[in-house]
Structure 1
């Protein structure tokens, strides 16, 4: 049995082969959401969806699910990140059901960054699941079954799962095997880590993603200075910003402006290779429209920025 919920604008754009733009939003490290909502509003009409991080780099922040629901209420389409580091399988299944009930459809299933990468290294990691197991649970829930293969009393969920991948991993065979497992587990799209090697991205899309019929959103990171780039290389798992890019930032009279130009160049180049891009501009999300302008990416058509609130929830009392 399948859910009859209509696909969202993000899902339709992916299925239709359109160039897709997403942007990353970090939940606040406090109880107020005003800043994050103001930032999200500035991206209205420029991105298909806003990807809300879930304890990225093992740094505490507000619940991704709460921010996603608030975005949905503002008619902005969210992608809920869900990592396995902080929850066991019971909590993960509970959150997936809760996300569906709240009208959230897009879920990026992640294993999660190690606790030692964050600001609370004394925290106890869970890792009861990893990304493939989480994807399988989403697939089961969408078939109307729980993790024990028991029927859900209210029918199937309507979640749209995606996965992450790093095209620059040194083990190509390992990357190929894991991506195949994610596809078999139910992944419907790929969001990559930051990619600076376009040849690696091209090979990844052509040899791995295309045979699996998985659309790729290539990760583009806004670098603010050479110092910022070196910090990212040191602190972000898997990051590998080349020395040439760092030298370009160091030599720039205005490093921030140079970073914007570099990000725009990467967006334009990635859109020639992958179906879309995922822009990460930590604490500078308001710069994303400028990056898109520099890259020659026009605002979205009005039809794409129509209502994203599921019909079953649109009439709910507030």
Structure 2
């Protein structure tokens, strides 16, 4: 099965993805409503897996619900909560349920979340998770034993943070993830586009794997300050915070800022990954303002 995301990447199109959070409870309707607004606007919708170590519905279960509603999901998988047996079991289960796109993550530390006394696992981290997926796609398990009931065919991506201080760390991790099987990268939130340009020329250009710049919809100056304070690695500059602070309509200003950033990213990399926590309904407006769209002449999923 070829997904819209995979086809767009293989055809070297400008790729657009967005992110939704699973419900914190048993009713997925709000998530479905938000994701439905992204149909034919994006190539795939990321479903987070315990982002910031906050407990929510399983990414695999939530992604399956989206798939049942005709929305192409990208399920995230974090290594924090599963040992190597659980990781393999969930990957096989996700594939059997029809999920194909996924993002391999190490996972945020447990102490950052709402269950700080929970026990972290971290049998693997993101690079070794990618290697495991490559094995499963090749018909073998973690121990190199043949899978008697068939190989998988998961289209795996990875995360990257171009704004890390150490170029050595960025270059090393990026190369290892490519070597381990990453087919695309979604970046953390980008606010320094000079740094992104340098990353693209210095690191990404050495590998034929697309990078999608993370664009975050800021709703107010208070929202931006909270992110700087609470999200590891966030570096929203004072100039953007001041724009939001002095705007008559901060949310509208945030939409403008996000659209401007999408336009900048379009000249630097192969796609964008849009994040608008609790306001995913505004992502289409950001894309419209940025004058960007995807090809819609083919169905979301084709066999």
| TM-score, normalized by the shorter chain, greater than 0.5 | yes
Do the aligned residues in 1 keep the contact of 2:3 with 2:300 (CA within 8 Å)?
A: no
The alpha carbon displacement at 1:307 in A equals: 4.2
Aligned to 1:266: 261
How many residues in Structure 1 have an aligned counterpart in Structure 2? Answer: 303
Determine if contact 2:158/2:177 at 8 Å carries over to the other structure.
yes
Are 2:59 and 1:64 aligned?
Answer: yes
CA displacement 1:151-202 (0-9 Å, x = unmatched) = 0012211001100000000000111011111111111110000011111111
Once the two structures are TM-superposed, the CA of residue 212 in structure 1 deviates from its matched residue by: 1.3
Name the CA distance, whole Å, in 1 between partners of 2:38 and 2:140.
37
Q: What is the aligned partner in structure 2 of residue 248 from structure 1?
A: 243
Provide structure 1 residue ranges, at least 5 long, that are not aligned to the other structure.
1-5, 312-318
Confirm or deny that 1:194 pairs with 2:189. yes
Alignment correspondent of 1:170: 165
The alpha-carbon deviation at position 15 of structure 1 amounts to 1.2
Tell me the distance in 2 between the aligned counterparts of 1:62 and 1:40: 15
User: 1:204, 1:15 → 2: CA distance?
Assistant: 22
Distance 1:53 1:31 in 2: 16
SS state of the match for residue 51, structure 1? Answer: strand
CA distance in 2, matches of 1:206, 1:79: 27
Report the equivalent of 1:51: 46
The 8 Å contact of residues 19 and 45 in structure 2, kept in 1 or not, is answered as yes
Separation in structure 2 between the aligned mates of residue 214 and residue 200 of structure 1, nearest angstrom: 19
Q: State the partner residue of 2:130.
A: 135
Task: Say which of 298, 301, 305 aligns to 2:295.
Answer: 301
1:157 aligns with 2:152: yes
Contact 2:105-2:125 within 8 A present in 1 as well: yes
Measured on the aligned residues, the alpha-carbon RMSD in Å equals: 1.1
Q: Provide TM-score, normalisation by structure 2.
A: 0.97
Is contact 1:113–1:237 with CA below 8 Å preserved after alignment?
A: no
Unaligned runs of 5+ in 2: none
Q: Distance in 1 between matches of 2:220 and 2:195?
A: 24
Runs of 4+ in 1 over 4 A off after TM superposition: none
Aligned counterpart in structure 1 of residue 23 of structure 2, from 25, 28, 44: 28
- Pairing 1:94-109 to 2, within 5 Å after superposition: 94-109=89-104
1:301: Cα distance to partner?
A: 2.9
CA distance in 2, matches of 1:27, 1:55: 9
How far does residue 210 in structure 1 lie from its aligned partner after superposition? 2.2
CA distance in 2, matches of 1:83, 1:144: 22
**1:237 aligned partner:** 232
Structure 1 residue aligned with 2:204, among 203, 209, 214? 209
- CA shift, 1:261, in A, is 0.5
